[in-house]
């Protein structure tokens, strides 16, 4: 059985709209509004349902790129050590 999504109150909808509008001046490639545009709907449903730790997945991707949490290059070996220490 599919989960029902909660409808937003008018106040919550207004806040959500304000958040969305604050993202629009940015170029598409760095605009979080478009982050999931190419994501398969089934995967997006699982993300919304909390099946994945999206923050950890983003951190892991930064590490694969050799970047720290500030987006600074630290190299692959240093970032791997950094993540291992942080996870313990």
pLDDT tens string 33-79: 889 999 999 999 999 999 999 999 999 999 999 999 999 999 987 54
75 with 43, same domain? no
18 with 46, same domain? yes
45 with 35, same domain? yes
- Helix (H/G/I), strand (E/B), else coil: 54: helix
- When divided into structural domains, the chain yields a total of 2
Closest CA to 76 of 66, 84, 86: 66
**Of residues 82 and 46, which shows the higher confidence score?**
46
Beta bridge partners of 73: 67
29 with 45, same domain? yes
pLDDT digits (tens, 9 = 90+) for 19-35: 766 666 788 888 888 89
43 with 67, same domain? no
Q: What is the 3-state secondary structure (H, E, C) of 40-77?
A: CHHHHHHHHCCCCCHHHHHHHHHHHCCECCCCCECCHH
- Helix (H/G/I), strand (E/B), else coil: 15: helix
Q: Give pTM, 2 decimals.
A: 0.59
Q: What is the domain range of residue 28?
A: 8-51
Residues 52/58/62/37 CA torsion (nearest 10 deg): 110
Position 80 pLDDT exceeds 60? no
């Amino acid at each position: 059985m599919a989960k029902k999504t909660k409808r937003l109150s008018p106040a919550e909808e207004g806040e959500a709209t304000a958040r969305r509008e604050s993202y629009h001046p940015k170029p598409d490639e760095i605009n979080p509004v478009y982050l999931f545009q190419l994501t398969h709907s089934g995967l997006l449903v699982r993300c919304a349902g909390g099946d994945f730790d999206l923050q950890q997945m983003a951190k892991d991707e930064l590490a694969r790129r050799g970047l720290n949490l500030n987006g600074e290059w630290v190299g692959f070996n240093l970032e791997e050590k950094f993540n291992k220490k942080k996870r313990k």
